[in-house]
Structure formats: structure tokens, C-alpha cells
Chain A
Amino acid sequence: MIDFYFSLPDIVRYIIQGIAVICFLFPVGAACSMAERKVAAWAQDRPGPNRARPWLLARIPIIGPILGYFGIFNLMADGGKLLFREDITPGHVNKFYFVMAPIVAMTPALSTIVFVPFGAYLDSAGQILPVMLANVDIGILGVFALASLSVYSLILAGWASNSKYPFLGAIRASAQLISYELSMTLAVVPVLLWINAPGTTGSLSLVRVVEFQSQPGFWGGMWFVFIMPVSAFIFLITIFAETNRQPFDMPESEADLVGGYHTEYGSYKWSLFFVAEYCQMIVGSGIFILLFLGGWNPLPWIPLADLVNWLHDLLHWQWLMHPIFVGLLSIGIFVTKVLIFIFIFMWVRWTLPRFRYDQVMRIGWQRLLPLSIANLVVYIIAIALLQK
């Protein structure tokens, strides 16, 4: 079957892979909305949504009640509701851009995943090969390029709505994105400097970053979060800001802007914005994990290859070395990390209040930007000294 798969033309394989990834990403993005509600409920000492019990599915022993408890049926009902609800387009909007905005929101959210290696397998030579859709050299740059497109959807939505609250939300979103994009990029530079030693072929690939964190030895196996904590910290904050998550969700800010940029949206178009936000969170967490938390490596100083070899030595099962198992294991490790990270997103959301807009701007320009520049300078000097 694998042979058959590899015998297919490249283009068909890419399409299959792309659809598979979207089929994973989209529902997970949607499921995050339910996870958010559950986490919110637990943080507020209540059980959360658990009442939807379709009469046939809920009767399945053990699984039915568990699905019910975790609100999966609520999620399905929610999706169905959003899908079949009357899709109102207000009379005063610019119809073309109004419809385009959610599409523009989904596009970068789903396409940035192309540059993200979400797993790896060992070939027969024991060489690590990444599992990803496009192993190109621009890597992180591509992610940044596509991710910044997402602000266009907000601006489009806000402008096309032809209404003041969405407009204000859109303005806030663009200003916020520009403010934090800079610090984000600057925070990543030390990592790339570290992996690109002078004289070698330069690469911005995220695979390379993970490989650097999978090396043997104390320094080699160390994740970048330990080497560059300030970079990780700045990057973390900017992800929050870029994905418009609490405490930076000024564009939505329902207390003062009703619904922010999506005030005029409803039903399925609104849900696309919603899912796009979660997809961005997933991709953003993925990038953070790749850059600072060792990617698909299970633990610091224990790379994936070591884990597989160790398991094999222990159990002597031949299939443990099979590429498919290794690939699934690595994807599993990566997805687990991503999910933990998303939980942290929610954890923060249900802990912190929203910043004031002036605070958002001050933090972005007066704190994070100087800090990231200083951080960059320090690491440039340090790397120069170390690599001399």
C-alpha cells in the first residue's frame, strides 16, 4: 500500500497530503472552540456543555456518555447549527469584500501549515526525514509571509461591513499586527543565526532548527527555550498578539466593540473567522514548538531517534523501526505538544483580563521592540564569540 502510494505521481500525492492535513486541521480548529468552552467551564468550577445527547449515539455504551460529557455532540450540533442557519448579509455592506473576508481569513490559516514539519521518520540509513507538505528552504520566512496576510481578512471584514465597530476592530487589528510582527521576527533571528554557522549553506528551514535540537551532547540536545529564553518569551507574547488571543484580543473586544471586525457576520461566514483563529493558533503553537521546544523530540536531550532505538532495544519488535510507526509516533508527539500549547492559550485566556489598547501599543513598541533588539544584539555578540 505504501508502495502504491509512492508510485502515484507527485502532484496527486501532494493533493492527497494537503487534503489530509486540511481534514485534520479544520476539525481540530473547530474542536478547539468546544475545548475552549470546556476549559472556560472548568476554570469557572462548572461542568460545561454536556447536555447534547443524540438518542442513538448517546446509547453507545461507555463511548456515548464520554462523548456527551466532553460536549462532542454539542460541537456537532453547533457546527450543524452554524451551517444551516440563515446567512444574513446586511444591506449596507460591500458584498464582494464582505464575502471574501472570511475566505481570506481561512486561506493563510490553512496554507501556513505547508511550511510546518509536523513529524519525522527514519529512512533505512537512519537519516531523519521530515513529514511536511513542502520542505522548502524559506521555511520560517514563508510562514511569516503567509501569516501576515491574515490581517487582510480583518481589514477587509471591517471595511466591507461599512459599520463603525467592525471598522474600529479592523484598524486595531492592523495596528496591533504591525506592532508585534516586528518583535516577532526579531525574536526569531537569534535562532536562525545559531543554526546558520558561517560558511555553511544558509537555511531558514524549520527542519534544520529541529535537527539542531536533536543533536547528541549537553548543548546539542538542549532545546532553544533554554538557550534563548528571552527570544522564546518575546515570541510567545507576539503569538498571542498575532492570533488576537486574550489578553490581546482588541480587534474583537466585545465589551467596547460589540463583536469587533465580525460584528456584521453571522452563521457560516462567522464560523470561518472563528475556525481561522484557532487554525492560526495551531500553526503558531507549532512554530513555537519547532523553534524552541524541540519539535517532534519527546524530551530535551532525548531525540526521536534515540527514543525509537531505545524502544527497539527493549522490545525487539521489528515494526518499531518501520517508517510509518516512527512517523506516526513523531506526529503524535508533535500534536500532543501543540494541544498542550493550545490549552495554555486557553488557560491564559480564562485567567487574564484584556489589556487596554494603549497598553497593547506601549507593550509592543516601548517594551517588546527594544527588548527584542537588545536580545538580538546580545546573541549576535555571543554567537560571534562562541563561533570564533
Chain B
Amino acid sequence: MSVIQVQRKPLSLAERTYIPQILSGMKTTMKHIVAKPVTVNYPEERPEIPPGYRGVPTLVRDPHGREKCVSCQLCEFVCPPKAIRITPGEIPADSPNAHVEKGPREFEINMLRCIYCGLCQEVCPEEAIWLQNVYSSSGYTRAEMVNNKQKLYELGGTLPDTHLKWDKKKAAAEKH
């Protein structure tokens, strides 16, 4: 028996006049009229962004200013709308980070394509790409909406890092 027959209860006299319902409805409306608005005056007031918010994807540096991305292109691979485009490159031998060997020569995220799913952050083995609290991006041209490497680092800034894997690696090589 998938269908349950429910007896419709006949309306009482008060219900048939609608008046108690109307009055209780008006009471509810009045409660809202005197309540504080739940919206904010957007550009002047900004909503508080909770931790873990998935805003615009950004690239971050480690506390020592090293760019964390090694251009493994996993984010490019996992990105469902194919918004990420990385041109990998070799880190020059005279760089202090030469031991990392590989880094992005160019890193572009097309914000017209990005769907803010956060898979890039999830897949990143170096914890270099983070969806942070920037939630509004705008531009007058399509080209403006493509965040290049420089813009991504400006947006991302520096995040704390507990691993410092590459620093340890460099220290081990120097000890040797």
C-alpha cells in the first residue's frame, strides 16, 4: 500500500471565515516588519566570510615567500570546466628555489569558466591553490576575467605552512 487515504477534516466556522488565519498571518508579517533586515547594503557593508568559504581560487606563497606551486597540472586536469591553464617551466639554476626544479611559467584561471567547486584546492599536492574569501570579481573584457599568475599571487598572499617540505629537502641536500 503506497497510497494512504487521508480524510480531509471539514473546516470549522472560524476557519471558513478566514479571519483567524488572516489575523495570524498579519501578526507574522508585523513580526517581520519590526525585525531587523537580514540583508546587507552590499558594497558598503560586506557579509562576514566564514572559514572554509570557497571564493576565487588563488595561488599562495609559503611563509618564506617561496611560490608553492610546482605546476604539476593536477588542478588543470581535475578542473571540471577547464578553467585552469598552466604553462610549466623549469626554475633557473641560480634561483634560491632551484632545488624545486619545476614551477609555473604562466598560470591562468579563467574566472568566466570557474565554477568555484574547489576541486583544484582539494587535489593540490603542494597546498598551493586555495579558494579564499574573495567572492566578487568583475571586468570589462573577457581578458580581464582571466587571472594570470601575478594576479593570482596578489589575491592569494601568504598562508602558514606546517610542512615546509622543500625547505627540509634543501637542508638534507646541504647536509649531505
Contact = CB atoms under 8 A, between A and B. Distances in A.
- A and B touching (C-beta < 8 Å)? yes
A362 to B, nearest CB: 12
Nearest to B17: A367
B32 A42 contact: yes
A347 B25 CA distance: 10
A351 interface: yes
Interface in A20-59: 39, 41-47, 50
B29 interface: yes
A46 B50 CA distance: 22
A46 B22 contact: no
A43 B41 contact: no
B9 to A, nearest CB: 20
Contacts of A41: 37
A212 B28 CA distance: 36
Contacts of B35: 45
Report the interface size class on chain A.
Answer: 10 to 19
B29 A347 contact: yes
B25 A352 contact: yes
Given A352-B22, A352-B25, A347 B41 contact: no
A350 interface: yes
A39 B33 contact: yes
B29 A350 contact: yes
A97 to B, nearest CB: 38
Nearest to A359: B18
Contact of A351 (B22, B34, B39): B22
Contacts of A45: 32, 35-39
A43 B33 contact: yes
A50 B26 contact: no
Contact of A46 (B28, B30, B38): B38
Nearest to B40: A47
Contacts of B36: 45
A178 interface: no
Contacts of A43: 29, 32-33
A47 B39 CA distance: 7
Contacts, number: 37
Contacts of B41: 47, 50
Report the interface size class on chain B.
Answer: 10 to 19
Contacts of A42: 32-34, 37
A46 B35 CA distance: 9
Q: Which of B22, B25, B33, B36 has the most CB of A within 10 A?
A: B33
A348 interface: yes
A44 B41 CA distance: 15
Contacts of A352: 22, 25
A293 B81 CA distance: 66
B32 A44 contact: yes
Contacts of B25: 351-352
Interface in B8-58: 22, 25-26, 28-30, 32-39, 41
Contacts of A351: 22, 25-26, 28-29
A305 B32 CA distance: 39
B18 to A, nearest CB: 9
A347 B32 contact: no
Nearest to A233: B19
A46 B36 CA distance: 8
Contacts of B30: 347
B32 to A, nearest CB: 5
Contacts of B32: 42-45
Interface string A347-371: 1101110000000000000000000
A47 B38 CA distance: 9
Interface string A49-81: 010000000000000000000000000000000
Interface string A334-354: 000000000000011011100
A364 B10 CA distance: 22
A328 to B, nearest CB: 30
Nearest to B34: A42
A93 B9 CA distance: 51
Given A42-B32, A43-B33, A45-B32, A347 B39 contact: no
B166 to A, nearest CB: 50
Given A39-B33, A43-B32, A45-B39, 17 more contacts: A41-B37, A42-B32, A42-B33, A42-B37, A43-B29, A43-B33, A44-B32, A45-B35, A45-B37, A45-B38, A47-B39, A50-B41, A347-B30, A347-B33, A351-B28, A352-B22, A352-B25
7 contacts: A42-B32, A42-B37, A43-B33, A45-B32, A47-B41, A347-B26, A351-B22
Pairs A-B, 8 closest by C-beta atoms: A351-B29, A46-B39, A42-B33, A351-B25, A45-B38, A47-B37, A46-B37, A351-B26
Interface of B: 22, 25-26, 28-30, 32-39, 41
